[in-house]
A and B are shown apart, each in its own frame.
Chain A
Amino acid sequence: MIPVPSSGDRASAVCIRRKRRVSIDTIISNLNILYIAPPLILQLLVNGLMVGALFALVAYGMALVWGVMNVINISQGEYVVLGGYVTVLLADFGIHPFFGVFIAPIVMYGFGWVLYRTVIFRIVDKDLFVSILATYGISILLQQLMNQVFGADIRRADHGFVTWPFFDDIVTIEQIKLLGAMTSLAWGGVLIYFLKKSRLGQAIRATAQNARAARTMGIDTDKVYAATYAINAAVCGVAGALVAMIWVIEPFIGLIYTIRAFLIVIIAGLGNLVGVVIAGVSLGAAENFAGFILGAEFQVGFIFALLVIILVGRSYLLDRKREYLK
């Protein structure tokens, strides 16, 4: 569930969530370990940077939907998990899971399109809170559905990539994480190029700027919305394929990815691509350090607490100018 610094058995990290204890002693001793072995800092940083690229990808999809359609998609994390299941199924059929990076987005594109045509098109012009609640409904529906279809077990796709050791095994770089970071960046690049150059991409950007003006110019905004939502699902599919290879997936793991994406988007702001990448990578690094120092069980709590702190902090700063987050 969580990026654990060592490359040990991650499934166990998920299972032992119940046994959690934090004390000042453990924090100090963990800090001491970092002091004794500085390369570990490098390890945490590298790991964080690599997984951060993946978070940035999910966040970019969320920002796209939010900016273009004015919908906050709480079911983002469930699309990631679904993409992961596509990959796991591929691996079950004997196809190398890395192909999931290309197949999962295709499947998820179709899925997103169907979801738009059935549900999402009804909430596009509604209040933002309606979108939060409706996509939350979709999210718990998908969780239970995945639980029924794929079972509650923790699944992962075996990829067979090895780990490179450096500094006498203190720093290790998992090939799959590196590959995942590169894939995320590559897909992000493709997406940006598509939005900049292609006809549909231009229509999407036009709709984001002003939907009404776009309609008068002959753009079928309904189609644009459908495409935007489907693209977001596809992007999540890519991320999910990587998640299934790097960590594990289970039906109820999605919300944490939604919150990460949301966190990144509100730090970076809508439509700020460089910001999204920087925020994503920093979140990845911060999370890795927090996971190491506080203990891996507290990583989830850390992310959620960070969300509250950042939101409150930002609104305090704006409050001085008599403004508020919009």
Chain B
Amino acid sequence: MVVKKQKKLMAVQADLVEKIIRISNIKGRTVYSFVNEIMEQAIEAEDLGQSLKEIVEIYRLMEIEKKTGAVLTTREILNFLVQKLYPSEEEALMEKWYISGEWYGKYVLTRFQDGEPLEMLDKLLQVYLWEASEIRILRGKDSIGLRCVAPNHTTEETSLLSSFLEGAMHSMGYTLRKRDLLKGLILLDFEKRT
């Protein structure tokens, strides 16, 4: 015997209700089952430790990252590769990371030219550098500070990441004014090019 779940009414903004009805119809669903599915997702999101709003935003950023050619690899593999090459090819690797960063910055600038590219870069870096405990872009009047804390990063990774970030900022119109690097710690200051 199927036990029917009890229903309850929730007050909602009228225009949103109209939209829900429209989408339910397009999907061939009842409004009731569709609303339940949405509410269930909000509860599940909370169980994952984030709000649904944050999850949708992170998903959107992940999709943008994928379009820039971001791939996954294990930390062990990446470290192994960097450690193998860095001693003999430091300059070439730094250049490669810088160029990749330049492309990334250019992409962000082009894709989000109508919005706020720096704000977007800040958000995307939160997803791109998910192993970092902190990544922040500090905005001054004519200057920008970029801070990254990634305690697990090796000295080599720190240098390469800094090079990537410098490339990104350069293509977004900023010149490096000060660089301070320590293992797992990046402090960069830029000024806007006139």
Partners in one complex: no
